[in-house]
């Protein structure tokens, strides 16, 4: 019996696959850009955790972080790079494909 779905699961890009980062990227994929507060509210992450995940995503070239001021208030705006959008779409496609293969694997095992 092929262990293909398990090998593929193990080979998933962890930069994208980590749940908090996948949530951040999925949220960002639906908009042109979002501010730090929006992502914090949506994901429920603490400031420190969100900041850490965003730094990793920025280092990986998946997002761009722009820091500025709106009046006297600091404002951090995050947007996905074109490469980030491609990688996220690729990742979701991979997950869908692996799920189908895992279902087939399970059905064969039960036969």
Which of 2, 4, 7, 44 forms a contact with other proteins (CB under 8 A)?
A: 44
Residue 108, Cβ neighbours under 10 Å: how many? 10
Which of the residues 4 through 43 are near other proteins (CB under 8 A)?
30-43
Judged by beta carbon, residue 8 or residue 40, the one nearer other proteins is 40
User: What is the distance between the alpha carbons of residues 102 and 24, in angstroms, rounded to a whole number?
Assistant: 26
Q: How far is the CB of 44 from other proteins (least distance, A)?
A: 4
Which of the residues 50 through 79 are near other proteins (CB under 8 A)?
77
Judged by beta carbon, residue 32 or residue 109, the one nearer other proteins is 32
Residue 110 Cα distances to 36, 103, 106, angstroms: 47, 11, 6
Residue 96 Cα distances to 9, 48, 102, angstroms: 11, 31, 10
Report the interface residues with other proteins, using CB under 8 A: 30-45, 77
């Amino acid at each position: 019996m092929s262990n293909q779905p398990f090998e593929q699961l193990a080979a998933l890009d962890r930069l994208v696959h980590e749940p908090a980062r996948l949530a951040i990227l999925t949220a960002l994929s639906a908009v042109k850009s979002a501010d730090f507060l929006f992502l914090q509210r949506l994901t429920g992450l603490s400031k420190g955790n969100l900041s850490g995940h965003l730094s990793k995503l920025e280092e990986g070239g998946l997002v761009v972080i722009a820091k500025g001021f709106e009046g006297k208030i600091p404002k951090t705006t995050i947007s996905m790079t074109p490469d980030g959008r491609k990688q996220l779409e690729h990742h979701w496609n991979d997950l869908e494909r692996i799920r189908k293969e895992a279902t087939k694997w399970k059905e064969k095992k039960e036969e």
